[in-house]
Amino acid sequence: MTSWNGKHGPLIIAEIGGNHEGSFEYAQELTQLACESGVDAVKFQIYTGDSLVNKIEDPDRNRHFNNFVLEQRQYIKLAEQCHENGVIFTASVWDPSAFDWIDPFIPFYKIGSGDLTALSLIDKIISKRKPILLSTGLSTMGEVEEAVRYIRSKDDFYIQKNNLALLQCTSMYPIPIEEANLNVMQRYREKFNIRVGYSDHTEGTLAVETAISMGAEIIEFHFTNTRDGKAFRDHKVSLTKAEVIKLIDKVKLIKKLMGNGIKRPLKSEEDSGHISSFRRGLYFARDIKKGAIIEKADIVELRPNYGIDGKLYGSIIGLKLNVDVAKHCRISFELFD
């Protein structure tokens, strides 16, 4: 993987994460639906409860994550399922012992918001020398700067623009729209000269659509088959296959609306003749005799822009007519000495 480009513009990542709730069959179903939706990548979280949460300090969350664990061979099957569908498989690897067996199946690593300060885990990822997607929920700008500096200091591979990217994220499920804080993406561009995107935890697709219109190059959202009857919180902020298909249709329209950034007259303007019919040209404001010296009162700017463009107004003042002219006659330089 050499860039963060997707089939439809931004790289679109469907985060299944823990929505399989520990069922391999359900994980397979979600993976297939995500692949069929047209996304570029499907992402999981690889962990065990004991490798993630201290069972003494937080036994309930330790138990929760242990209930959501899939086996090594099952993750590999899911990766192969993605590859068979022409879709990227990737993961947030939260279990340090998993890197060696999952690495052959992953073209880039995602560092979740909760691990932005977990330097020993980040060191493991850096050692794999693959592109990193760093999510920045919970963080101050100073902490993001420290993380970027740390990663780049460990290996100049990550100084290259396509090898480290940042995602704006707010780590709550769901978040109110006013906490999406999408303008942070531009701050990241300015500060780090880096590829940027958005990891969504709102309900619906408005935030994602807005992020794309603001130039997000990577989009990540949670994915499910249905939100109905689901107790696990991530389902509430997840999109379904039908919603992703509609979103991708909107992405295509948004990219068309954004254009290529080159300011010039476009085909519809040229074909319609509006370049001349909407702009003003220079005309005589009254009948004037040969030999007269042109003054401001002698000229009027009117549509269409035939003859001399209105922007040359000042160059006509003071010239001497070599013929008689009538009111509203087109002005041309041939009429003057």
Does pLDDT of 231 surpass 90? Answer: no
State residue 125's pLDDT score. 98
Right CATH for 5-258 from 3.30.420.480, 3.30.420.590, 3.60.20.10, 3.20.20.70: 3.20.20.70
Domains of the chain, by residue range, sit at: 5-258, 267-335
Task: Tell me the pLDDT of the chain averaged across its residues.
Answer: 96
Q: Do 5-258 and 267-335 agree at the fold level?
A: no
Does pLDDT of 1 surpass 90? Answer: no
Reference 121, options 159, 95, 157, 158; nearest CA is 95
Give Cβ neighbours of residue 246 (< 8 Å, ≥ 6 apart). 205
* The domain over range 267-335 is classified in CATH as 1.10.760.10: no
3-state SS, residue 18: coil
Tens of pLDDT along 15-61?
999 999 999 999 999 999 999 999 999 999 999 999 999 999 999 99
Expressed in angstroms, the distance from the first to the final Cα of the chain is: 67
Q: What is the DSSP string of 94-150?
A: --GGGHHHHGGG-SSEEE-GGGTT-HHHHHHHHHTT--EEEE-TT--HHHHHHHHHH
Tens of pLDDT along 89-124?
999 999 999 999 999 999 999 999 999 999 999 999
Q: What average pLDDT does this structure show over 266-271?
A: 96
Tens of pLDDT along 290-305?
999 999 999 999 999 9
Does pLDDT of 229 surpass 90? Answer: no
3-state SS, residue 86: coil
